[in-house]
Amino acid sequence: MPYAHVNGVKLYYKTYGEGDPVILIGGLGSQLQSWATQVPIYSKHFKVVVFDNRGSGKSDKPETRYSTEDMAHDTALLMNELGIGSAHVVGKSMGGMIGQWLAIKHPEKVQKLVLGCSSASRDEVGNEILRMGREIATKQGTKAVWLMALYLGYTREYIEKNLGTIKEAMSLVPEDPEALKGYIGQSFACEGHNTREQLNQISASTLIMLGEGDLIASPKRSKELSDRIPDSELKVFTGVGHGFWRERQEEVDKLVLDFLLSG
């Protein structure tokens, strides 16, 4: 299996395709398979790198607390290990938080930046959801918190249409002490995330996307990214929430590819 030893942790990763590199960074608790529908599309144009963040999947799950800034440093060092000097960076939710720090602390590594359903800081509603998630995960397991995120993130129409696939995906959610530890570590990292005062340092052209009805990441806080990042554009998807990337996949992927492939 392809692993990279960076920043004191072992990261599991995969690469697909050829061309200019694109780094896809996943959200809270997600594994690299969360990009399974994007990889075949994006890898027609780019060399795509997907990986499990520290705390998820087959990557290490440290005992100590860590932050989104730590995970951005993980990403930068993974790029070094793979011989990638710079790349387009695409992050969703927590992955967008990591992408922000990567563009702030390692500007030379980020060509273009895409931030989906993300924010520069958390509001109290968002943090209460994270705290509730940690409590549910601790008492009922990671499958239960995954189900909570599904109901908060997607429309009923989407859930009804995709119930079979959802049940299949839920059967693959790991239920073990290591997975729980990693989820909780990532959750605290999200709660502590704050780049509001550093966003004006981002020099990469940036695309910001949000779902108008997002309950997990405040749309107001997502819009703040476009106010504070100098060379940025904003796309708002109506009628959907945190899970807009799946509910409007064709539209979103076209928008992302057009942005990355533009001059």
Question: For residue 240, what pLDDT is reported?
Answer: 98
- Please state the rounded mean pLDDT for residues 148-173: 90
Question: For residue 171, what pLDDT is reported?
Answer: 82
pLDDT over 70, % of the chain:
100
pLDDT band at 152 (very low <50, low <70, confident <90, very high): very high
pLDDT in tens, 81-91: 999 999 999 99
First-to-final CA distance of the chain: 36
Question: For residue 217, what pLDDT is reported?
Answer: 96
pLDDT in tens, 21-79: 999 999 999 999 999 999 999 999 999 999 999 999 999 999 888 999 999 999 999 99
Residue 1 has pLDDT above 70, yes or no: no
pLDDT over 90, % of the chain:
91
Least confident of 107-116, 169-178, 251-260: 169-178
Least confident of 49-53, 91-95, 176-180, 249-253: 176-180
Question: For residue 174, what pLDDT is reported?
Answer: 81
Average per-residue pLDDT for the chain: 96
pTM of the predicted structure, to 2 decimals: 0.96
Ordered by where they begin, the domains of the chain are 3-261 (3.40.50.1820)
| Rg, the chain, Cα only | 17
pLDDT band at 223 (very low <50, low <70, confident <90, very high): very high
Question: For residue 168, what pLDDT is reported?
Answer: 84
Report the DSSP beta bridge partners of residue 121.
194
